[in-house]
Amino acid sequence: GAGVSQSPSNKVTEKGKDVELRCDPISGHTALYWYRQSLGQGLEFLIYFQGNSAPDKSGLPSDRFSAERTGGSVSTLTIQRTQQEDSAVYLCASSFGGSGYTFGSGTRLTVV
Amino acid sequence: DAKTTQPPSMDCAEGRAANLPCNHSTISGNEYVYWYRQIHSQGPQYIIHGLKNNETNEMASLIITEDRKSSTLILPHATLRDTAVYYCIFGRAGANNLFFGTGTRLTVIP
């Protein structure tokens, strides 16, 4: 596609429920990144994919967070048993080679 | 984390040049300087990047000092739409974890 697409754009969920966030990167971009941004804060790195593999999972804040990427394309970030501190904007970006990252518009997650 | 130092905020008059400084004293020889900006409620947008030579594109110019320990992003004629948070980052080409920090909040004033 022309840009990085994320869905849903907004998600409100009850504490304790699981959520799945989806990212469609730019076609042909081999690298895919997940970041999150809490209100008024900078971007926090979560995970990086090169193809379908995730060599760097160091940023995942807890074992409730997991991510996968299939076919070298779409990625899903799953948060199990959501907590209120998980409320944030979750941003996905993709890149190819040494190009800059192209970000999606993010998913605003609110845990109530 | 590869950290940079940026002023937390700056103002610029509309139509004037906005010069945003960044210190990256720990940058190594194969690491690029990248600039992004984030307009309220949107994902960050790539602006420009460079290794050691000055760079210019349709959005901005990037001036990198000879020792590469600092750089300046120049928006030649700032408009109200340039009001955003500007992030200066460094990392290897294809780096898997660009550290964004808190950036500089640029406000363009009419």
Identity of the residue numbered B29: G
Nearest by CB to A42, from B43, B94, B102: name it. Answer: B102
Nearest by CB to A42, from B34, B96, B103: name it. Answer: B103
Confidence band, pLDDT 50/70/90 cuts, at residue A99: confident
**Contact call for B97 and A105, based on CB within 8 A:** no
B16 pLDDT higher than 90:
yes
Residue-wise pLDDT tens digits, B41-90: 788 999 999 999 899 999 999 999 999 999 999 999 999 999 999 999 88
Confidence band, pLDDT 50/70/90 cuts, at residue A34: very high
Share of chain A above pLDDT 90, in %: 69
Identify the pLDDT of residue B60. Answer: 97
| Out of A2-16, A27-41, B46-60, least confident range | A27-41
d(CA A53, CA A109): 25
d(CA A51, CA A42): 26
Q: What is the 3-state secondary structure (H, E, C) of chain A?
A: CCCCEEECCEEEECCCCCEEEEEECCCCCCEEEEEEECCCCCEEEEEEEECCEEEECCCCCCCCEEEEECCCCCEEEEECCCCHHHCEEEEEEEECCCCCCEECCCEEEEEC
The region, left, alpha or beta by phi > 0 then psi within -120 to 50, assigned to residue A51 is left
Give the chain A residue whose CA is nearest to the CA of B31.
A98
Confidence band, pLDDT 50/70/90 cuts, at residue B101: confident
What is the mean pLDDT of the segment spanning B22-43?
Answer: 90
**Contact call for A100 and B100, based on CB within 8 A:** no
**Contact call for B44 and A43, based on CB within 8 A:** yes
**Short-list B2, B36, B17, B18, CA closest to B106:** B18
Identify the pLDDT of residue A98. Answer: 67
Identify the pLDDT of residue A100. Answer: 81
C-alpha to C-alpha distances, A92 to A29, A32, B32, B42, B96, nearest whole angstrom: 12, 7, 21, 12, 13
Give the chain A residue whose CA is nearest to the CA of B88.
A42
A1 pLDDT higher than 60:
no
Chain A nearest-CA distance from B84, in A, is: 13
| CA angle in degrees (0–180, nearest 5) for A77-B89-B47 | 85
More confident residue, A89 or B93: A89
A10 pLDDT higher than 90:
yes
Residue-wise pLDDT tens digits, A38-82: 887 888 889 989 888 888 788 899 999 999 998 889 999 999 999
How many CB contacts within 8 angstroms connect chain A with chain B? 53
